[in-house]
Amino acid sequence: MLTFAIAVLFLVGTPGPGVLSLAGVGAAYGYRDGLRYMIGLFLGNNLVALAVLSGLAALMLAEPALRNVLAVASAAYLLFLAYKIAFAGARVAFIERPTPPGIWGGITLQVINPKAYAVNTAIFSNFPFMADTPGLEAALKLLIFNALWIVLHLFWLWLGVTIRRLNLPERRQRAINMGMALAMLGVVVLAAWTAF
């Protein structure tokens, strides 16, 4: 069970579309709107987890045409986010929008987020600790996963709000933007590599 928890910490805590966009919402709009968006990410992630656990995701992704369409749409969206972040200029911008994305924005992002599917598949198909009772193991994994997910996402929200308040020099802000954009590109490369 400890190995499972450590894997969740690494898989969920690393930069991906969900945590980067959550930090961006926190930086742009503060805690209240960030928490609303986080609720959407949480609900969307649990929809993905249920799709993985039920086999629905495997069934849908077994169709090559559908898998390719989803892979291209996801990659295009992530490249768009990476572009917006990289060329945000001298301010830590993450993602700029006239209004916060809200709950539906979070749900939508997770449903098309390739990292969400990869993480949920890795988490629920590996790290067995109750092989004799797979239903109970899945329920415990979901409980542990969600508890750690909430803590890690609250950290990223706090990080976004804090970075905005720091009023960093322009050079440092550009470096943060480029680092986040490269992290997003890394997600695209990993998703493309696992798709083929």
Residue-wise pLDDT tens digits, 66-111: 767 766 766 776 677 667 666 655 455 555 556 778 899 889 889 8
From the centroid of its chain, how far is CA 189? 15
Q: What is the pLDDT of residue 90?
A: 47
CA distances to 33, 76, 107, 146, 196 from 184, rounded to whole Å, are 23, 11, 19, 23, 19
Which range of residues forms the domain containing residue 111?
2-195
Q: What is the pLDDT of residue 81?
A: 63
Residue-wise pLDDT tens digits, 185-195: 776 676 566 55
Give the count of domains, the chain: 1
- Which residue pairs from 166-174 have beta carbons closer than 8 angstroms and sit at least 24 positions apart in sequence? 168/92, 170/90, 173/90, 173/91, 173/92, 174/89, 174/90
Q: What is the pLDDT of residue 190?
A: 63
CA distances to 4, 54, 68, 170 from 129, rounded to whole Å, are 8, 19, 34, 48
Give yes or no for residue 41 having a pLDDT over 80.
yes
CA distance 123 to 22: 22
